[in-house]
Amino acid sequence: MIWRYILKRVFWMVPFLFAVSIVAFLLIQAPPGDFLTTYMAKLGESNEVLDQATIDNLRQRFGLDQPIYVQYFKWISRLIVGDFGMSFEWRQPVSDLVWERMGLTLCLSFATLLFTWAVAFPIGVYSAVRKYSIGDYIATTIGFIGIATPNFLLALILMYIGVVYFGSDVGGLFSPEFKNAAWSWAKVWDLMKHLWLPVVVLGTSATASLIRIMRANLLDELNKPYVDTARAKGLSEFWLIMKYPVRVALNPFISTIGWVLPNLVSGAVVTAIVLSLPTAGPLMLQALLSQDMFLAGAFVLLLSSLTVVGMLISDILLVLLDPRVKYD
Amino acid code (one letter) for 21 = S
User: For other proteins, which is the closer residue by CB, 254 or 260?
Assistant: 254
User: For other proteins, which is the closer residue by CB, 39 or 244?
Assistant: 244
Crossing angle (nearest 10°) for helices 94-129 and 293-321: 30
How many CA atoms lie less than 13 Å away from 158 in the CB half-sphere? Answer: 22
Binding mask 242-281 for other proteins (x = CB under 8 A): -xx--xx---------------------------------
Q: How far apart are CA 1 and CA 7, in angstroms?
A: 10
| Per CB under 8 A, 216 contacts other proteins | no
CB of 33 to other proteins, least distance (A): 47
User: For other proteins, which is the closer residue by CB, 77 or 229?
Assistant: 229
| Per CB under 8 A, 6 contacts other proteins | no
| Residue of the chain from 68, 226, 242, 289 that contacts other proteins (CB under 8 A) | 226
| Per CB under 8 A, 234 contacts other proteins | yes
Q: How far apart are CA 295 and CA 301, in angstroms?
A: 10
User: For other proteins, which is the closer residue by CB, 107 or 321?
Assistant: 321
User: For other proteins, which is the closer residue by CB, 191 or 319?
Assistant: 319
| Per CB under 8 A, 133 contacts other proteins | no
Among the listed residues 104, 117, 105, 125, the one whose alpha carbon sits nearest the alpha carbon of residue 317: 117
Q: How far apart are CA 237 and CA 253, in angstroms?
A: 22
Q: Which residues pair with 92 in a beta bridge?
A: 87
| Per CB under 8 A, 328 contacts other proteins | yes
How many CA atoms lie less than 13 Å away from 195 in the CB half-sphere? Answer: 18
| Residue of the chain from 15, 32, 82, 225 that contacts other proteins (CB under 8 A) | 225
Phi-psi region of 75 (alpha: psi -120 to 50; beta: other; left: phi over 0): alpha
The alpha-helical segments, DSSP class H, found in 30-130 are 35-45, 52-62, 68-80, 94-129
Q: Which residues pair with 63 in a beta bridge?
A: none
User: For other proteins, which is the closer residue by CB, 15 or 82?
Assistant: 15
User: For other proteins, which is the closer residue by CB, 184 or 236?
Assistant: 236
End-to-end CA distance of the chain: 8
Residues 288-327 that bind other proteins (CB under 8 A): 321-324
Identify which range of 76-84, 88-96, 100-108, 224-232 contacts other proteins by CB under 8 A.
224-232
| Residue of the chain from 67, 81, 164, 233 that contacts other proteins (CB under 8 A) | 233
User: For other proteins, which is the closer residue by CB, 97 or 240?
Assistant: 240
| Residue of the chain from 92, 168, 229, 276 that contacts other proteins (CB under 8 A) | 229
Per-position DSSP letters for 229-283, written without gaps between them: HHHHHT--HHHHHHHTHHHHHTHHHHHHHHHHHHHHHHHTHHHHHHTT--SHHHH
How many CA atoms lie less than 13 Å away from 268 in the CB half-sphere? Answer: 30
CB of 1 to other proteins, least distance (A): 11
User: For other proteins, which is the closer residue by CB, 35 or 244?
Assistant: 244
CB of 325 to other proteins, least distance (A): 10
DSSP state of 327: -
Among the listed residues 161, 252, 145, 250, the one whose alpha carbon sits nearest the alpha carbon of residue 204: 145
DSSP state of 51: -
Q: How far apart are CA 275 and CA 267, in angstroms?
A: 14
CB of 237 to other proteins, least distance (A): 5
Binding site for other proteins (CB under 8 A): 223-226, 228-237, 243-244, 247-248, 321-324, 328
